Amino acid sequence: MVIAELEMARVQTVVDLGCGDGKLLSRLMKEKQLTQLVGLDVSVRVLEIAAERLRLDRLPQRQRERIQLLHGGLTYRDARIEGFDAATAIEVIEHLDENRLVAFERVLFQCARPGLVIVTTPNVEYNIHYSFLPPGQFRHPDHRFEWTRAAFAAWGQRVATTFGYGVRFVPVGTVDATVGPPTQMAVFTRDDLQGGEA
């Protein structure tokens, strides 16, 4: 899903924000058109796991030069994540305190300003299908919030309008007729790239 969007936009450089243990990065490594990949996370532990998963110490030099893991946070401006064609934040925003989300928006959409931004987050409406979850409980203890489709759409529209991006919303996973998909994705395209080549 995410990879298809990156392919469609013909991006060459991607920064994966809150990359975790490197699941997406390991798949992106196989995409030959991608020339530079960076993963950033606040947790040293998950970055160690990512380095192992990606076998960073065993990669041939040309592959090794394509990828970098960075320790850092998402709510302070960071020059290392600027200048990329695309940024992804996969199941990350719900880990940020809602009052820090505004800082993240500025860091990403105002300072880093990639042409394409892909954000995914759980659709809380779908939680009724998880019988193990007591009503009102989130999917993960570290989640600070989980949004309905309407809440995510409102957030995405506001961010897009504020920072000069267009946005569309894409369901991820099997769509339930009533409550929608388990995961929701927003694809932001910077206004100067809309309708043209990324």
Residue 81's CB is within 10 A of a number of other CB atoms, namely 21
Comparison of 98 and 191: residue with beta carbon closer to ligand SAH: 98
- Which residue number is nearest to ligand SAH in terms of Cβ? 20
- Pick the binder of ligand SAH from 36, 43, 68, 148 (CB under 6 A): 43
Residues 6+ apart with CB under 8 A from 113: 82, 163, 190
Comparison of 91 and 125: residue with beta carbon closer to ligand SAH: 91
Binding mask 93-122 for ligand SAH (x = CB under 6 A): --xx--------------------------
Stretch that binds ligand SAH, among 42-50, 110-118, 128-136, 169-177 (CB under 6 A): 42-50
Joined tokens for residue 20: 């975790």
- Minimum Å gap between C-beta 90 and ligand SAH is 4
81 sits near ligand SAH (criterion: CB under 6 A): no
- Minimum Å gap between C-beta 42 and ligand SAH is 4
Which DSSP symbol is given to 134? P
Segment 6 to 35, residues that bind ligand SAH, using CB under 6 A: 18-20, 23
**DSSP secondary structure of 71-108:** E--SSS--GGG-S-SEEEEES-GGGS-TTTHHHHHIII
Residues 6+ apart with CB under 8 A from 149: 123, 125, 169, 180, 184
- Minimum Å gap between C-beta 43 and ligand SAH is 4
Closest CA to 41 of 6, 80, 98: 80
Q: Give the footprint of ligand SAH on this chain (CB under 6 A).
A: 18-20, 23, 41-43, 46, 73-75, 90-92, 95-96
